[in-house]
């Protein structure tokens, strides 16, 4: 199993970019907001939907993610309704789904949001800029 990627903010705190600043990953989503106080939260699926959607990095969720996101919402609802009654397999599936949506530090490090200007992404634009 491959070692999980270390988030850029952790690498920067360790001083990993002091010698090699070119290794810094561009366009990695930055986590925002405080984690808040402990609470199991709402069991209303609409509220869970909004909560998980707000926790995802920007521009990650699309229409094709809807079914997987619905499953994550339902498993979160089941967990909040009865934390000890949900199977470990469902918890593993929920954690896997949340990771795929970039909701863990290691998985956020894998996301490249790209440039704000689509022309910056074009190899032809980069070649023209070098001349």
70-84: per-residue pLDDT in tens? 999 999 999 999 999
pLDDT tens profile 19-44: 888 887 777 777 677 777 777 788 99
Structure tokens at 29: 């989503």
The answer to whether residue 130 scores a pLDDT higher than 70 is no
All residues at 6 or more sequence positions from 91 whose CB lies less than 8 Å from its CB, including other chains: 75, 79
Mean pLDDT, rounded, of the chain: 82
- The predicted pLDDT at position 102 comes to 87
- The predicted pLDDT at position 117 comes to 55
For residue 108, the surrounding DSSP H or E stretch is helix 105-108
């Amino acid at each position: 199993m491959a070692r999980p990627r270390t988030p850029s903010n952790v690498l920067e705190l360790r001083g990993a970019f002091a010698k090699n600043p070119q290794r810094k990953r561009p366009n990695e989503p930055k986590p925002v907001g405080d984690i808040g106080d402990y609470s199991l939260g709402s069991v209303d699926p609409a509220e869970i939907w909004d909560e998980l959607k707000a926790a995802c990095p920007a521009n990650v969720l699309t229409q094709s993610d809807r079914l997987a996101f619905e499953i994550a919402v339902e498993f979160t609802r089941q967990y909040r309704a009865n934390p000890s009654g949900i199977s470990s397999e469902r918890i593993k599936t929920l954690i896997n789904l949340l990771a795929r949506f970039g909701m863990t530090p290691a998985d956020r490090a894998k996301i490249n949001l790209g440039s704000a200007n689509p022309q910056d992404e074009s190899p032809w634009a980069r070649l023209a800029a070098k001349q």
